[in-house]
Chains A and B, each alone.
Chain A
Amino acid sequence: MNAGAAALAVVQVVVMVVVSPLLVGLMRQTRARLEGRVGAGVLQPWRDLRKLAVKETLRAAGTGWVSAAGPLVLVASGLLVCALIPLVGAVPFVSVPDDLFVVVSVLLVGTVALALVGLDAGTAFGGMGSSRHMTIAALVEPTVLVAVYALSIPVGSSALSQIVRARIDDPASVASPVSLLALVALAIAVVAETGRLPVDNPSTHLELTMIHEAMVIESSGRDLGWLELGSWLRLGALLGLLGSLLVPWGVAQDASVAAVLIGVVTLVLKLAVLGCVLAAAEVFVAKLRLFRVPELLAGSFVLAFLAVTASYLVVQAG
């Protein structure tokens, strides 16, 4: 059991490392085409990473070990999340839990690493980005935990692979109101956590509107490369999780070669579709004022809470 789970984890990590930059490239291309431009191509993020690998890395006086180690921690936590979440397959390890709180905590380790990198820069911009980023992370956590809690009630377990398997076995639960409410709440939480519009504009130049960009404003060369790759991995993993929960069919339930291949192909398809939808939605919205973001997050929390109460009504009736 463990050998199969290990092989699956390796496949997931490798696939996500290759595919996440392509996902970001696809999102940028979608946006470009909708705006009437040609765009740089789906492979551009990989070209960015290749360039950053050969650029000089500058370290300012006053920064410390966090500026060097923080990007590595971000990437490692992103890779670990890719290994734990059911993306290609839902075959858990015997003793490594893929349960909700463990996955959320690993994601938060990455969040904290990024925030500390911003503070270590020793500039006003870094601290500003770090402060905003942590405030949003604090307000997103209740939504994420309660939304997955709502999804775990019909299943009786909060292990993500169990939830996905139960949804494969019972197609009606995917379209139930509980599931839809919880997934909408989770989608808003994912948008906030990964710093996409309307919470944060990933391509802004105005420092006072930055959240994520402000934290990486001081990093250069391979530090920046790791930070970008880490953020893209988190985006890919969270979108992949949404995909596995929304459309669970295709996720492998055992570690056989055929099932894994089907899993990889369906994962790539789901990521592509979700990425295009998200990018297209971004064209239509403007960034929210920072002090309106808590209202959005409170709204998503209410949806998640409604999902929990709805799931109790369903269980009571059924």
Chain B
Amino acid sequence: MSMRRLVRLMRVTGRVAEPAPRRPEGLDGPNVALGGSVGVRHVDAGSCNGCEIEVAATFGPVYDAERYGARLVASARHADVVLVTGVVTRNMLEPLRRTVEATPNPRVVLAVGDCARNCGVFAGGIGVVGAGHDAVDVDLAVPGCPPEPDAIVEALRRVTLR
């Protein structure tokens, strides 16, 4: 797309982000003195990619989770929240555990989607070890198959307190 068309697109589109809903209450449990800045490391433990699309939408322009202080980060060492999607498969069991161990404290493990909560439609399947809580300690879960981006945003806001 040429620069002129891009500029016109920006001017015409304006703001895409929807207005922010009411702020939910904070999470109890681990210390969340994170002061409005949260790094999110996403681990796909074996999902069908439905939740990934919703997570991408959460951080996209319409829902814009970044305005609440949550940002996708490239390394577990930079993260405060480990966002797990999908059922835990045999090959991803150890990498998921290592990712959570590599995250410095205080940390929160957020399970997104029915598969991460209770294996969802893949319960008993070949190569499935269990749900998120069978591998690591899960602090917060978002139900849905897939969950709405609004629900994911609400869960994140419970951590960022913004």
Contacts and interface: CB of A to CB of B under 8 A. Distances in A.
Given A51-B34, A51-B37, A36 B77 contact: no
Interface stretch (B47-55, B62-70, B131-139): B62-70
B18 to A, nearest CB: 9
A47 interface: yes
A278 B49 CA distance: 35
A265 interface: no
Interface in B1-58: 3, 6, 10, 13-17, 20, 33-38
Contacts of A48: 37
Contact of B66 (A34, A39, A213, A221): A39
Chain A CB within 10 Å, residue with most, of B17, B69, B77, B102: B77
A39 B61 CA distance: 9
Interface in A181-200: none
Interface size class of B (residues with CB under 8 A): 20 to 34
Q: How large is the interface on A (under 10, 10 to 19, 20 to 34, 35 or more residues)?
A: 20 to 34
- Residue in A34, A35, A40 with the greatest tally of chain B CB atoms within 10 Å: A40
B104 interface: yes
A217 B75 contact: yes
Contacts of B69: 40, 44, 47
A220 B72 contact: no
B91 interface: no
Contacts of B3: 284
B37 A50 contact: yes
B10 A39 contact: no
Contacts of B33: 54
A176 interface: no
B95 to A, nearest CB: 15
Contacts of B73: 205
A58 B101 CA distance: 11
A210 interface: yes
Interface in A19-48: 32-41, 44, 47-48
A121 to B, nearest CB: 10
A28 B27 CA distance: 28
Contact of B35 (A35, A39, A50, A56): A50
Interface string A84-104: 000000000000000000000
Given A37-B67, A38-B64, A224 B78 contact: yes
Nearest to B72: A205
Contacts of A37: 15-17, 61, 64, 66-67
B77 A205 contact: no
A218 B77 contact: yes
A44 B37 contact: yes
A111 interface: no
For the complex of A and B, 7 pairs with smallest distance between CB atoms: A36-B16, A56-B104, A47-B37, A220-B77, A38-B67, A51-B37, A217-B75
18 contacts: A36-B10, A36-B16, A37-B16, A38-B20, A39-B66, A40-B67, A41-B67, A47-B35, A51-B37, A55-B106, A56-B104, A205-B73, A216-B75, A216-B78, A217-B74, A220-B78, A220-B104, A283-B6
Interface of B: 3, 6, 10, 13-17, 20, 33-38, 61, 64, 66-69, 71-75, 77-78, 80, 102, 104-106
